[in-house]
Structure 1
Amino acid sequence: MRHGRATARLSDEALLDDVQRRTFRYFWDFADPASGMARDRFGGNDGWLVSGGSGMGAMAIVTAVTRGWITRAEAVERLHRMLRFLEHADSFHGAFPHFLTPEGRAIRFGRKDDGADIVETALLMQGLIAARAFFDGGGNSEPWLRGRIDGLFDAVEWNWFTREGREAYYWHWSPNHGFAMNHEILGWNECLIALVLAAGSARDPISPAVYHNGFTQSRTFLNGRDHAANEHILLPLGPDGGGPLFFAHYSFLGLDPRGLRDPYADYLAQNEAHVRINQAYCVRNPKGYVGYGPDCWGLTASDNHEGYSAHAPDNDLGVIAPTAAISSLPYAPDLVMPALRHFHDDLGDRIYGELGFVDAFNETVGWAAKTHLAIDQGPIIVMIENHRTSLLWDLVMSDATVRRGLGRLGFTSPHLATA
């Protein structure tokens, strides 16, 4: 991969501004024009609209208003367009599928995955909750916006996904196959937000036992081991090596990990350890890939030179995804800013453009993606903003449903102390 300087060196603040603003264009300029929903990706499957990524898009729109890139009125109009689409789109017991056509029909993601995806739905609702809290004005449009979001959230039968009251939570339900996929949500992963919203529902809450006797009981939930090869970093939860870095991002776009604790972990310590283990692994570079080092790291789910995979220390294909490091900015700015500098200043001519960073690259094989993915773009803009102002954290943690869910599951947080 040829290196070259993309632009004159920017200050840290100017660089963060530029990355956020370009990344926002993915959700604003490249959104589906009729519905305003986020497309799954740029460069293949452009007609597939994505539920969870659209929730991230809603958070990006809130960020854009605060940054002055769009007006409040423009944002409200776009969100109403999205809500109008969702109100008429396919849903199953109130939950949305992973992918939707521009006409609002479910796209089959697998042979038996042709219906509801409760995790994608939770990621969508997390973004809409942020928008509901932000657009708190009067008049006609903003109260109506809040009411429409209320309607979509209340329509989700959150407890349906316990399969008639089991102490377990299931990812998928199909109108043709029911719970045949039998995909129980277990182990430390990206799904915490789904359990919190389900527990906080005023109409259809799950029992706390679903969390404590289900989600947390997998052999890959508690870790507690010292990753001695990685500078003696203690990892509270998750698989050895931490797993892909999106575990530290998706649920924490809105859930503020600072001071967030339950009987199992301190979630800021969890995410900080995960990030540092990931970076230290890339520095150690046991497979000898080209480019890996202190300023070039970040393994997470992304496109790669052969397709798509959830990259992690135990699934390392030489593929660095810029979102992995950049979205970790709140957890380890001392490690992230050098990586961001390298991606922009040294590799920018190959991996940085009008929509921000491409999805991933592999210097060993001389490959750089031509794609951008919504679920990788979204965390970049949101987590940079959380680092700078805690905007999305403050909005989501102010929400009554989120507070109720966290309280029911036994979490403590400075945000709950001010309820």
Structure 2
Amino acid sequence: MLHYRSNTDIVLIERLQRAAFDYFLDYSDARTGLVADTSRAGSPSSIAATGFGLSCYPVAVERGWIRRPDAARRVLTALRFLADSRQASDRQATGHRGFYYHFLDMRTGERTWNSELSTIDTALLLAGALTAAAYFCGRDPNEAEIRSLAARLYERADWAWALNRGDTVAMGWRPPGRFLKHRWRGYSEALLLYVLALGSSNRPVAPETYGAYSAAHEWLTIDGAPHLHAGELFIHLFPHAWIDFRGIGDMGMRSARSDYFANTRRAIALQRAHAEENPHRFFGYCRDLWGFSACHAPKGWLKLRDGRRQQLLGYAARGAPFGADDGTLVPWAPLAGLPFAPDDCLDSLSHLLAHYPALLRDGRLPGGFNPSLPGGGREGWVDDRIVGLDQGLAVMMIENWRSGLVWEITRSIPAFSRGLKRAGFEGGWLLPVSLNRKRFTDQNMQ
């Protein structure tokens, strides 16, 4: 999987990956194991960031950044807390029906920010727990307990309840008893959610729910080829952090003679093309400066450095080529895109660091920046937050590019393969080993 052009490239990537992992050491609570949503003082925990962190510990052990027993103890702290925390329908609980509130108090684990019981963020948390459990497979009592607790957490999630008598999973629920009206229908990061919901051996959803979810996919024709559209970069990337989609496809992808990996590579190319075209004439945009995704920014009508006034969107899901674009970019995009377009992403990373060096803080890239706004340097406005989700995604996607480690781990997890097959995925590593070997032999004889 690894493709780089010089030792300088890999030294830089190693440094950025290590700094991104260290976020989970610097911004987790020693008693609960919960990970802060952002680096801002007083930030609550994000259960999704906690899930990314759990998945990053295997990477750190393999890279020699942390001792295996120390990593196992950190994982165990989080899983014990989550397993023992209170599940109830009142407003102060940590979760309900096996799901968790989006934001939790770092020290007590109680619901905070009036947040919803989030099905997608719980899915990201459980994906992390399962990944850690598959990696920590030794006889050590701590590792055995990790496996037991991860299985307990996963099987406790009542996915059938989350349907709320509908044909797709609800986005969330609020106490004391109200489901959110929106559902996970149409292409989104919930691809991962449906794999886990279908893979459960205790309270799964039926395969028909995946059909209802995917029936709303928006397909476009780009340069004569079908493309499953989502403007926001994170939608494409989040499921890939865990699942190796190369060579496997659901019914829609098989009909398009494609797979989600190729589709994401095309999405990155579309983002780069949009930045090069730069229809709104924002400062700095070019083929090597791109990254349209969900992030923070100022809000309201503000004057740009060229004197024009532009409406800034605040926190918003930005996308390209069809989506919101107010000049705000996510600088982590080249790191997360490395498995799909390594040469292009290495070029973009070099450009980013050469022209906007002040973005790095403690070796980490912030949640977003807008070079079109006036500021202290070329960087313009820079988010003062380092975001846990971004750091975890960077660690995992860099590692999937360097070694394929996370993908290798999740290919061994029955819940993932079972969920993919129930969703209708076929081919590639989902084939029986004997057929995989035969196909590999046949391909190499052609």
Q: Would the TM-score normalized by the shorter structure come out above 0.5?
A: yes
Deviates more, 1:393-402 or 1:170-179: 170-179
Alignment match, 1:216: 214
> How far is the alpha carbon of 1:346 from its aligned partner?
3.0
- Cα deviation code 1:232-268 (max 9, x no counterpart): 3745212xxx311001111111111211201111111
Give the whole-Å Cα distance in 1 for the aligned partners of 2:97 and 2:278: 46
Select the residue among 243, 249, 256 that pairs with 2:237. Answer: 249
Tell me, yes or no, if the aligned pair for 1:234 and 1:273 is still in contact at 8 Å. Answer: no
TM-score, structure 1 as length reference: 0.90
Select the residue among 368, 391, 394 that pairs with 1:380. Answer: 394
- Cα deviation code 1:58-109 (max 9, x no counterpart): 1121111110000001100101111122123311110111111120111244
The one-letter amino acid of 1:12's match is: D
Deviates more, 1:82-91 or 1:69-78: 82-91
Give the whole-Å Cα distance in 1 for the aligned partners of 2:213 and 2:114: 24
Alignment match, 2:127: 126
Give the whole-Å Cα distance in 2 for the aligned partners of 1:54 and 1:395: 18
The one-letter amino acid of 1:43's match is: R
* Sequence identity percentage: 30
Corresponding position: 1:74 with 2:83: no
Corresponding position: 1:309 with 2:316: yes
- Cα deviation code 1:320-371 (max 9, x no counterpart): 11122321111111211111112223322x1012151111111110211111
Distance 1:47 1:85, change over 3 A: farther
Q: How many pairs align?
A: 392
Higher Rg = 2
The one-letter amino acid of 1:320's match is: L
Alignment match, 2:308: none
Alignment match, 1:20: 17
- Cα deviation code 1:183-224 (max 9, x no counterpart): 111111111111011101001111111110x21122xx1313
Deviates more, 1:81-90 or 1:195-204: 81-90
Give the whole-Å Cα distance in 2 for the aligned partners of 1:194 and 1:101: 24
Select the residue among 365, 368, 373 that pairs with 1:357. Answer: 365
Alignment match, 1:334: 343
Question: Moved runs in structure 1, 4+ residues, more than 4 A?
Answer: none
Corresponding position: 1:279 with 2:272: yes
- Cα deviation code 1:263-311 (max 9, x no counterpart): 1111112111111111110111110111111221111111223331111
Give the whole-Å Cα distance in 2 for the aligned partners of 1:344 and 1:128: 34
Tell me, yes or no, if the aligned pair for 1:302 and 1:376 is still in contact at 8 Å. Answer: no
Give the whole-Å Cα distance in 1 for the aligned partners of 2:127 and 2:353: 30
Structure 2 spans left out of the alignment, 5+ residues: 1-5, 86-93, 254-258, 300-313, 374-379, 434-446
Alignment match, 1:267: 260
Structure 1 counterpart SS, 2:198? helix
Tell me, yes or no, if the aligned pair for 1:351 and 1:368 is still in contact at 8 Å. Answer: yes
- Cα deviation code 1:14-58 (max 9, x no counterpart): 0110110011111112222322221001125x3300111111111
The one-letter amino acid of 1:293's match is: C
Give the whole-Å Cα distance in 2 for the aligned partners of 1:78 and 1:235: 44
Tell me, yes or no, if the aligned pair for 1:326 and 1:340 is still in contact at 8 Å. Answer: yes
> How far is the alpha carbon of 1:154 from its aligned partner?
1.1
Structure 1 spans left out of the alignment, 5+ residues: 1-8, 227-231
Distance 1:273 1:54, change over 3 A: same
Alignment match, 2:99: 95
TM-score, structure 2 as length reference: 0.85
Alignment match, 2:419: 405
Corresponding position: 1:225 with 2:230: no
Structure 2 counterpart SS, 1:167? coil
Tell me the C-alpha RMSD between the 2 structures.
Answer: 1.7
Distance 1:355 1:25, change over 3 A: farther
